[in-house]
Amino acid sequence: MSFPWLTTLLVLPLVGALVVSLLPKGSTIVRPVALGVALLTLVVGIGAATQFRIGGGTAGEPFQLTEVYSWIPQFGVSYALGVDGISLSMILLGLVLVPICIVAAWDDVPAVGRRQHAYFALMLALTSMMVGVFAAIDVFLFYVFFEAMLIPVYFLIGVFGGSRRARAATSFLLYSLAGGLIMLVAVIGVYLAGPRGTDGFLLSNLTGMDLSVEAGRWLFVGFFIAFAIKAPMWPVHTWLPLAAEQARPATSVLLVGVLDKVGTYGMIRFCLTLFPEASQWATPVVLALALVSLFVGAFLAIGQTDMLRLISYTSISHFGFIVLGIFAFTTVSQTGATLYMVNHGFTTAGLFLVAGMLIVRRGSRDLRDFGGWQRVTPLVAGALFVSGMSGLALPGLNSFVSEFLVIVGTFGRHPWIAVISAIGVILAAVYILVMYQKVATGPRPAGPEVEDVTDMSGREKWVVAPIIAAFLVLGFYPKPVLDLLEPAVQQTLQTVGISDPAPAVDTAANHSTEGSDH
């Protein structure tokens, strides 16, 4: 490509973060500048998407918009960026959500000292890290972005979070660093086992590398543990509820809606692509962990009284569906899983941001302190209801398509696992409807604390409107996104060496039909 689209997407928010942080103390343009940079980055991202040709990659080089430059040739490290349909969809998801989150966080941090400068600068820096981690096609460069994105998230939680922010930020950092260190060992192992040239860490050069069965399986485990922590999956999920509870709602959206997708994205991009034999070897265990995550997240969500913790546990359950679709190894299930990654980002945004609006008005996160709020703030309660319906995969909304594809695709190879996973749909209805009932239904609450409460403001309508629009568009017409994702999914399955299961044929029925024809 003559124009470096991906590098521009990487650098632009970083420059914006620097500009925001250097604005004079007490400046009134911190938030408009941050929003302007985020919107400009989104426009550039849309421009990059227009240059992407669906199905335009090749078997040897499935990535487009590629930029490859030697970085540390002595160790085979390159500055290499590129996207396929999956990574492009993840980048666009992040670029859409960041300006929404900035508008949602408009009044989160008062303009005292330089706190507002730091808050929005960190959000822009995080945008850059998100682009880098999804666009990197050099394994070492991916690891650099994988670790670098911890820095802005740590400060967003630890400096601007709730009363237990220090504990939440530390827990997040320790879990993430532990996974990162394990992955670093695996990255070094890949270097020692790979081609080692001046571009030995390029994903295209490592795909199909000659590994012993034992080495491939150990390296797979190293990468998978890091991605399971990031996803998060049971039993390494415990950092997420505390982090989501203590972070600002906008931070939780970016953390759960986008950054945690690095875990499932990494499973597709690195575990499956680099270690196809080990991926098939580990499939029974991974499917079992996915089912456990699905049910543990759902049951824990049902038992929560903290609204933000409840939403975070629903995400653990949804990630179980995503991992299930990935490792069912069918085109339908994996396409559904990648679409689920996109849909879950919007669903999470709706739930967290609307919950944040309610918490600000009520002054509490405890569901027991609510009740009857559809009579106090009908628009906010309505937005919570629609976001909840997306979370339980109501037909006509975005999550239904992806959840349906995951279950149907899984059924083609693992019928009983698909049947068991379908119970998760029922549990989702339970925890969503219970949450809405506790928050919104019942008589109008009495007391001075609700007398002066106003319904959704104009700014909040700008936050909610694009999210609900995404629910409807992706629910009624997901074809453009599916067309973007499917070629990359087929390329991944081809690399793993797995084809879709043949449809079952009733031989006896066929014979009887042939006999009647004669």
Across the range 464-490, mean pLDDT stands at 92
Omega before residue 13 within 30° of 0, cis = no
Query: Coil, strand or helix: which one is 56?
Result: coil
pLDDT mean over 366-384: 87
pLDDT at 511: 54
- Tens of pLDDT, residue by residue over 15-54, are 999 999 998 887 888 899 999 999 999 999 999 999 988 8
For residue 63, give the 3-state DSSP assignment: coil
SS (H, E, C) 184-217: HHHHHHHHHHCCCCCCCCEHHHHCCCCCCHHHHH
Residue 406 has pLDDT above 80, yes or no: yes
Residue (of 25, 248, 41, 212) closest to 118 by Cα position: 25
At CA 283, angle to CA 143 and CA 492, rounded to 5?
55
Instruction: Look at the block and give the residue holding tokens 């809405």.
Output: 436
Q: CB burial class (10 A; 0-12, 13-18, 19+) of residue 192?
A: exposed
Statement: residue 515 has pLDDT above 60:
no
pLDDT band at 322, cuts 50/70/90?
very high
- pLDDT of residue 290 exceeding 90, the answer is yes
Q: Which helix (H) or strand (E) holds 66?
A: strand 64-72
CA quadruple 379, 383, 386, 388: dihedral positive or negative?
negative
- In this prediction, residues 409-433 reach a mean pLDDT of 89
In the predicted model, what is the mean pLDDT of residues 477-495?
89
- Of the pLDDT bands very low, low, confident and very high (cuts 50, 70, 90), residue 510 is low
For Cα atoms 396, 339, 496, give the angle at the middle one, nearest 5 degrees.
145
How far apart are the C-alpha atoms of 399 and 308, rounded to whole Å? Answer: 20
Cα–Cα distance measured from residue 342 to residue 257, given in angstroms and rounded to the nearest whole number? 8
Q: What are phi and psi of 146, to 5 degrees?
A: -55, -40
Cα–Cα distance measured from residue 342 to residue 351, given in angstroms and rounded to the nearest whole number: 15
CA pair distance 45, 91, nearest whole angstrom? 8
What is the rounded CA–CA span in Å between residue 99 and residue 246? 21
Query: 3-state DSSP: the chain helix, strand, coil percent, rounded to 5?
Result: 75, 5, 25
**Residue holding tokens 């906010």?**
380
Tell me phi and psi for residue 79, to 5 degrees.
-85, 95
Tokens representing 75? 């160790």
In 116-181, beta strands by DSSP E = none
Mapped onto helix, strand or coil, the DSSP state of residue 4 is coil
How far apart, in whole angstroms, are the C-alpha atoms of residue 51 and residue 178? 38
Here the tokens at position 446 are 């009495």
Res. 394: pLDDT tops 70: yes
Cα–Cα separations (whole angstroms), residue 501 to 325, 327, 505, 508? 15, 14, 12, 20
Domain boundaries, the chain: 5-501
Three-class SS state of 478: coil
Residue type (1 letter), 245: E
